[in-house]
């Protein structure tokens, strides 16, 4: 069985999804990212609620970074951290 680089695999997957017209773009991802993160913080299954967002995050490092940053920021807010402690 041939080993396929995961990057190559992702590109292939992305291309396949594009062909099927099911992949969302970064813009759509950003639009729903806050709701996705809120669900996650609520302990709900965000990936099930927004499977295309979840999928995009697995493919797109830019949006994945954004997601991590948003998650970290909201986590801090929920923890009741002092708002002026971030510097």
- CA within 13 Å, CB half, 48: 3
Q: Is 53 in the site for Zn ion (CB under 5 A)?
A: no
Q: Which stretch binds Zn ion (CB under 5 A): 14-22, 45-53, 57-65, 78-86?
A: 57-65
Q: Is 23 in a helix, a strand, or coil?
A: coil
For the chain, helix (H) and strand (E) counts, in that order, are 5, 0
Binding mask 21-50 for Zn ion (x = CB under 5 A): -----x--x---------------------
Residues near Zn ion (CB under 5 A) = 26, 29, 60, 63
């Amino acid at each position: 069985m041939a080993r396929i680089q995961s990057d190559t695999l992702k590109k292939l997957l992305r291309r396949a999804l594009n062909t099927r017209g099911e992949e969302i773009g970064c813009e759509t991802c950003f639009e729903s990212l806050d709701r996705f993160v809120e669900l996650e913080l609520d302990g709900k299954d965000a990936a099930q609620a927004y499977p295309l967002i979840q999928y995009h995050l697995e493919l797109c490092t830019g949006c994945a970074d954004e997601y991590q940053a948003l998650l970290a920021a909201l986590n801090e807010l929920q923890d009741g951290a002092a708002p002026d402690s971030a510097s």
